[in-house]
Amino acid sequence: MSVVVGSAGHIDHGKTTLLRALTGIDADRLPEERRRGMTIDVGYAHLVLADGSVVDFVDVPGHDRLVGNMLVGAGEIDAALLVVAADDGPNAQTIEHLELLDALGIRDGVAVITKADLVPDGSRLETVAAEVAALLAETTLAGAPVLVASATTGEGVDAVRAAIARLAGLVGPRLAAGDGPRLAIDRVFAIRGRGTVVTGSLRGGRVTAGTSLCLMPDGVEVRVREVQARGRTVDAGEGGRTALLLGGIEASRLRRGRVLTLDPRIVSTSRVLAAVRRPAQPRGPRGARTPATPPGDRDRLRLHLGTEQAGALVVRGPREAIDLPDGSSVVILRLDNPIAAAPGDRFALRRPSPGSTAGGGVVLDAAPPRGISRRRLTAERATALATGPAGSASARLDLHGALRDTTGWRLASDVEAALAAHARGLVDAHHADAPDSTGLSMAGLRTEVALAARRRVTLSRAAADEVARGVVDGLIGTGVLARNGDRVRAAGRAAGLPPATLAAMDRLEAALSVAAPPPLADAARAAGCPPEGLRALDAAGRIVRLEDDLAWSAATYRDLAGRAVSMAAAGPLSPAAFRDATGSSRRYVLTILGDLDRQELLRRTDAGHVLGPKMLARLRARAAASTRAPDGDAG
């Protein structure tokens, strides 16, 4: 994977000229840049090393009014090439660029004192080199080698080229493949008759023609038609400076800052949890600088991440006021517009007015917890997120309390334990309140666990229901709870009904074994039969319930129904005749006759009830069976 090195330094200190001497490529691509002799926008070059590997260079503007463009180039580099002119020495933009490189966490680089041919006095070169080394010592680039060269005469250029090769050998092995390709767009243009081209530094994986990538933060799918690396069409982009010819999207829909990716960790976000470092304060030889202060709560800054930038409001209230072991501070950054970001992304923060570096840091969580889950942000959890692998799944789960992945909802251990204990407590309380009960209703238990889940972590109602189902099913699956139909009981309790309930059920069945039974609620109360006993009688078919408060024992109902069918077979049956035959009342016989009508065993006519179609069909079937000759008879 190619190492990307970004230049840095004050305007007119010779960055572009040095790159031309190193690579033979003029990184000033715009006519205005060549006319004015200064880099206005980001330019690119590359160097093929002796072993065949390639180093890509990003040449950035040095003018103070072009810091935004400088950060576009610096946002996607792996190492830095700091350039300081021997005749001028470290200057304003030298220091500002160093501050920004420090904010972005760039730890590898080379410093070059250029224009050595303009300073014949060796002591001057030693003085400038010492000044540069002192500046580096106060930043993440501390200890970087300081070399002397002249792009005009060629003096020291080979030594710089060798130092770049050593730098690539040091940095390259650390550029491991990621979770999918990612290209932060820095240029967009259209080629008539071919399509839209984007360029950027490719990271995290390879891209081939035909690959479909997701444009973030828009969420639009685009297809790669061709891949180029350093001006040549290639079968696959493996990393470093890459150009992609895209199909199915107009250039007007793309811009600098968008990201093409297949990395599932990259999300569209307008809110990130981050660790922010205090800005470095390299002090030049021309006087001390004002001590830097870290970003404070409600500060409005400018975030530079990758090739994107956005306004950012710093939120560092009591909950976020966490200082990490490395001295950085935890903050929430609320952005003015959505960006594409992933855990581990480096960024720089700038104050808009007066323009100055406010610090830099790394994204801890690109989709931080909201709502009640924000209470879970503690120093321990923030430290675990900051010190572990970028975007650690276990650290994020512990911070959020609940996260969904491809297998469903996962819960932090403390949340799962609390919800499981709550479910067990609900079942135990139900047994204590209703000792004769077969258990708590499954629906009721899940509802209560879902409510408890929403009191602990931020979940929608549907998500909480899914979480509750998983918790209860898990307890049943592990044998902590047991299920009997729609009832859940403690695993240690017998599955059947207690003897007292069984006896009460027998009493209730006997009370309903009359033609005119008492109201069901009164009969159950008199028999001492609890609701679960009544449900068990109904489920077992021992009673026939025709209305909410009217039921017969099953045997009694069969006898009454059979009598009605027999009377209707002899002639139309009136309700009065059936009432007199059963010794009941009009309410009971009308209920029974109505039920037999619904079953089509009887049919109501003006003359009275007669046999219904189902009963007639049964009688015909019986008659046919009785007249059918036995098998083998001649008839």
3-state secondary structure 537-565: HHHCCCEEEEECCEEEEHHHHHHHHHHHH
**Rounded-to-integer distance, Cα 393 and Cα 379, Å:** 18
- Among residues 318, 312, 308, the alpha carbon closest in space to that of 333 is found at 312
pLDDT of residue 629 exceeding 60, the answer is no
Per-residue pLDDT reduced to its tens digit, 338-394: 999 999 999 999 988 777 889 999 999 999 999 999 999 999 999 999 999 998 999
Q: Which helix (H) or strand (E) is 210 found in, with range?
A: none
CA distance 86 to 112: 9
Distance of CA 220 to the CA centre of its chain: 18
What values do phi and psi take at 629, rounded to 5?
A: -70, 150
Say which DSSP state 371 is in. Answer: G
User: How many Cα atoms are found within 13 Å in the side-chain-facing hemisphere of 314?
Assistant: 24
CATH code of domain 409-490: 1.10.10
The rounded distance, in Å, linking the Cα atoms of 558 and 565 is 11
Question: Helix H segments across 246-392?
Answer: 379-387
Q: Which residues contact 617 (CB under 8 A, 6 or more apart)?
A: none
Question: Tens of pLDDT along 254-273?
Answer: 999 999 999 999 999 999 99
Whether the domain at 182-261 and the domain at 499-620 fall into the same CATH topology: no
In angstroms, the first-to-last Cα distance of the chain is 95
Q: What is the pLDDT of residue 297?
A: 92
Which residues, other chains included, contact 300 with Cβ-Cβ below 8 Å and sequence gap of 6+?
311, 312, 313, 314, 352
The residue ranges of every structural domain in the chain are 3-174, 182-261, 267-400, 409-490, 499-620
CB 222 within 8 A of CB 209: no
Are the beta carbons of 427 and 489 closer than 8 angstroms?
Answer: yes
Q: How many CB atoms lie within 10 A of CB 371?
A: 10
d(CA 134, CA 130): 6
β-bridge mates for residue 313, sequence order: 300, 334
Has this prediction a pTM greater than 0.75?
yes
Average pLDDT over residues 456-475: 97
Element (H, E) at 27: none
In this structure, CATH architecture of domain 3-174: 3-Layer(aba) Sandwich (3.40)
Domain 499-620 annotated CATH 1.10.10.10: yes
Closest listed residue to residue 45, CA positions, set 16, 75, 69: 16
The more confidently predicted of residues 295 and 494 is: 295
- 47, pLDDT greater than 60: yes
Counted residue by residue, the chain has a size of 635
What is the chain's mean pLDDT, rounded?
A: 89
CATH architecture of 182-261: Beta Barrel (2.40)
204 or 74, which is more confident: 204
Fold of 267-400: Elongation Factor Tu (Ef-tu); domain 3 (2.40.30)
